[in-house]
Amino acid sequence: MGEDGSGKALRSAGVGVLDRVVAILDAVETRPMGASELARHLGLSVPTAHRLAQAMVGHGLLLRDAEGRHHIGHRFASTALATAAIPVLDELRDQTGETAQIWVRRGELRLCLACAESPSELRASLPVGTLLPLSDKGSAAEVLTAERSADRWFESVSVRTPGLCSVSAGVRYGAEVVAAVCVAGPVSRVAPEGPGAQWGELVAAAARRLEEVLQYR
């Protein structure tokens, strides 16, 4: 775009931040680019391109790889992830008898993107669209805030809500954990070994299935 004059058009038209964000998305959709290349491509200063790209990474609009190149971010995979999650969560609910959910990070909060509720009258129940703080230390929050953890799953017992427990596993998009698959239920229905021993491998397998969906979207 820099060579065909599009960068000059961006400057001369007095384009705002939103337009620059869209221009960056258009550019990296064609091929991955670092901040300096984005600056040349769009006719922006390097500090401006770097600042915008960094903010977009923070909001999940861009994904930065190990070489410093930017790709389309995981936020754009949310619709595909929610759609793909429904049958996976249904199966996980049927396997465990408990509520299965998928959570994604939204700033310092986590959002319930999809849910398959347990048929039991006593169950963990949070509707789709629920927002909870990442600081609550539930198993899904632990997954979403872990720094490249090698753990297959995290469990929590009576941490966020007394009497409830959960186990969660991360869904990766590239090298980044972008979602957490979670099974939650009453402590009274969990084996003495804990929710991780009872459901951990099933939850981890569900997370791997969703990773395959994102890989080929």
Residues 46 and 125 in one domain: no
Is residue 87 situated within a structural domain? yes
CA-to-CA distance for 37 and 185, rounded, in angstroms? 49
Q: Does 122 have pLDDT greater than 90?
A: yes
Residues 19 and 83 in one domain: no
Q: Does 67 have pLDDT greater than 60?
A: yes
159 exposure class (CB count in 10 Å sphere: 0-12, 13-18, 19+): middle
Beta carbons within 10 angstroms of residue 70's beta carbon: 25
Is residue 19 situated within a structural domain? yes
| Per-residue confidence (pLDDT) for residue 12, from 0 to 100 | 40
Query: Range of 183's domain?
Result: 76-215
Confidence band, pLDDT 50/70/90 cuts, at residue 14 = very low
| Per-residue confidence (pLDDT) for residue 11, from 0 to 100 | 46
Q: Does 9 have pLDDT greater than 50?
A: no
Task: Tell me the CATH number at 62.
Answer: 1.10.10.10
Task: Tell me the CATH number at 105.
Answer: 3.30.450.40
CA-to-CA distance for 184 and 126, rounded, in angstroms? 10
Residues 156 and 199 in one domain: yes
Q: Does 130 have pLDDT greater than 90?
A: yes
Q: Tell me: the pLDDT tens digits for 145-155?
A: 987 666 889 99
CA-to-CA distance for 49 and 38, rounded, in angstroms? 6
| Per-residue confidence (pLDDT) for residue 149, from 0 to 100 | 66
Residues 180 and 86 in one domain: yes
